[in-house]
Structure 1
Amino acid sequence: MHRAETPTSGGQSTLFLYLYALAISGGSIAYIPFLTILLPLQASAFAGTNALNLLAHVAFAGAIAASLANIGFGWASDISGTRRPWIAAGLVLSSALLLAMPLATTASMLIAMIVGWQFCLNMMLAPLAAWAGDTVPDSQKGMLGGLQALAPALGALSGMLVTLHGFAGSGERLFWIVGLVAILVAPLLLFGRPIPMPQLIHIDIHPKPRVSRTGLTDIAVTHMWLARLLVQIAEASLFAFLLLWFRSVEPGFGENRAAAIFTFVLGAAVLFALNIGRWSDRTDRPILPLVLCSAIAAVGLLLMSVASDLVLAISGYVVFGLASSIFLALHSSQTLRVLPAPKTRGRDLGLFNLTNTVPSLIMPWLTLALVPLYGFDALFLLLAGLAALACLLLLRIPR
């Protein structure tokens, strides 16, 4: 056996973990640059002044489609008893639809294609997320979470790459995205040979009290779900309105500076998440980093709410951005600890995925209700309260 495939302490092979982390990063590249950069450009090209209205409808329809598809295809992979074919089919179909996006020349065509693309994309993403639950034991879930922090960082980096002046023309960008996704996901499908972990698939081999759907498991599942939802609402709000807020503190603040800060935060979060994840594995304290990160995120938001100059504004965002990015990465892997039934792992992760899609439906209305009347300060105070509530929920999870 190749040295990289040798597990430590009965864990999963490091080779599989690295291949899995690359595939998860490929999943992020499949949608981050398109949804944040290329789709708005396409909508503006034929919608003109109605582009914002069109994008709002596209975001709403896409979020609904992604939510339903993630639950459905996760459940389908549960029933079929295999993940790899679903991932491969989703990779091929979502790539084909992404390349076909320029063919949409009307609003209705674009919305229909986005809905179809979201279904195919989640045919890949849902079984991919569940595969980690089938293969990575609790003793390595902190490391898994740290590796998953690569995904948003590489997703943001790919957006910068495909829009770099002189790197790719407007007609070539989607081909680059599809190629990058294939390069990162295909190795897992072709060479990923995880060490079997029957105790993660058949709960009757080593029965534990926490596999019950009542008592401690219900508390942990509910609190983990709510905590992620609250932090995601805060993260989604900042993701969409960060540049506008910086410009409210210092008029003329450039978009390239905002992008640089955002990229720095995501990159630094990878290093922190890897080390913190490994520490949580060694000490068997999976929830403590989540508690601390949600508390620190609340502090960062409080700093942002009182920021009167750019230095304090950037400092507050860096504190919040690092803490929330580490939280979301580690939470994704530690969620696998509390899911009650391996036979419905894909479906249950789809329900957890609602914490990623629901904020995109809540966030615009929340912001529009507060900012025009009370300013960004009130928004940040509310978001700080949500992050603090997430911390309290996690503290109440029994060890």
Structure 2
Amino acid sequence: MQIASFAISSYQLYILTEYIKLHGKVLQSYVTWISMILMVTAIILCVFAEPLSDKIGRRKLPVIFVGVLISSGLLAPMFSTKDWIMLVYAAIVGTGMGMYNSVNQALHIEVLPDPKTAAKDLSLLNMANNGWQVFGQIFASSVIGLVGYHDIFPLASAMAIIGSILIIFIKK
């Protein structure tokens, strides 16, 4: 899911200039708005998602739901090159990533092998999670180079769905 999300967010400037065709002050404004929407929605949902997950007593189900939500947000720009579609993308993906980050961290804590090595295990897990940001950029540049901007959106969406499916295989 992180590869999918970062594939689009890390290429946001290029998507806005080469796919949406924005330039100058309008481009600057959209970069700011998209970043703000991604940040604010992620922060707000991060605060509420994990307590909700605690209340329903589930971790995997909310993460699977979030993958579908992120996937739908990543698809939005495929349907239009209007400038406002990137704001829709930001709202949906920001919401999904906020939920994902908080519930996924709780899931990670639950599957740690030994409580005595939790700090070490979480630090390694954090480094591994950050690596997906790099792979997202490699994925995006490869896809855009081969087939163009339009096809990055359904492929990133498919990556998010694959991430959701893989969560199912986590054992207790």
Q: Which range, TM-score by smaller chain? A: 0.7 to 0.9
Equivalent position to 1:291, from 43, 49, 64:
64
Q: Distance in 1 between matches of 2:110 and 2:9?
A: 28
The alignment-based identity, stated in percent, is: 20
Q: Does 1:234 align with 2:4?
A: yes
State the 1:389 CA deviation: 0.8
Q: Distance in 1 between matches of 2:14 and 2:143?
A: 14
What is the TM-score with the length of structure 1 in the denominator? 0.39
> Per-residue CA shift, 1:38-75, capped at 9, x if unaligned?
xxxxxxxxxxxxxxxxxxxxxxxxxxxxxxxxxxxxxx
Contact 1:307/1:313 (8 A) holds in 2? no
**Rg comparison, structure with higher value:** 1
Contact 1:232/1:355 (8 A) holds in 2? no
Q: Does 1:243 align with 2:16?
A: no
**Equivalent residue, structure 2, for 1:306:** 79
| Change in 2 beyond 3 A, CA 1:365/1:397 | closer
**Equivalent residue, structure 1, for 2:97:** 324
**Equivalent residue, structure 1, for 2:152:** 379
State the 1:359 CA deviation: 2.3
Q: Distance in 2 between matches of 1:282 and 1:257?
A: 37
> Per-residue CA shift, 1:66-115, capped at 9, x if unaligned?
xxxxxxxxxxxxxxxxxxxxxxxxxxxxxxxxxxxxxxxxxxxxxxxxxx
* Residues 291-300 or 323-332, more deviating: 323-332
State the 1:294 CA deviation: 0.8
> Per-residue CA shift, 1:258-286, capped at 9, x if unaligned?
22222123212322232232222122122
> Per-residue CA shift, 1:142-177, capped at 9, x if unaligned?
xxxxxxxxxxxxxxxxxxxxxxxxxxxxxxxxxxxx
State the 1:388 CA deviation: 0.1
Higher relative contact order (CA 8 A, sep 6+): 2
Q: Does 1:334 align with 2:104?
A: no
Q: Does 1:364 align with 2:133?
A: no
| Change in 2 beyond 3 A, CA 1:322/1:369 | same
| Change in 2 beyond 3 A, CA 1:394/1:356 | closer
Contact 1:243/1:255 (8 A) holds in 2? no
**Equivalent residue, structure 2, for 1:263:** 36
Q: Distance in 2 between matches of 1:364 and 1:315?
A: 21
Gaps of 5+ in 2: none
Contact 2:70/2:93 (8 A) holds in 1? yes
**Letter of the structure 2 residue corresponding to residue 236 of structure 1:** F
State the 1:398 CA deviation: 5.0
Q: Distance in 1 between matches of 2:136 and 2:43?
A: 26
**Letter of the structure 2 residue corresponding to residue 386 of structure 1:** M
**Letter of the structure 2 residue corresponding to residue 339 of structure 1:** L
State the 1:245 CA deviation: 0.8
Contact 1:304/1:317 (8 A) holds in 2? no
Structure-to-structure mapping, 1:71-90, within 5 angstroms:
none
State the 1:396 CA deviation: 3.5
| Change in 2 beyond 3 A, CA 1:306/1:355 | farther
> Per-residue CA shift, 1:281-332, capped at 9, x if unaligned?
1221222221111111011112222323223332133212221232123212
| Change in 2 beyond 3 A, CA 1:392/1:360 | closer
* Residues 264-273 or 282-291, more deviating: 264-273
| Change in 2 beyond 3 A, CA 1:286/1:368 | closer
**Letter of the structure 2 residue corresponding to residue 356 of structure 1:** N
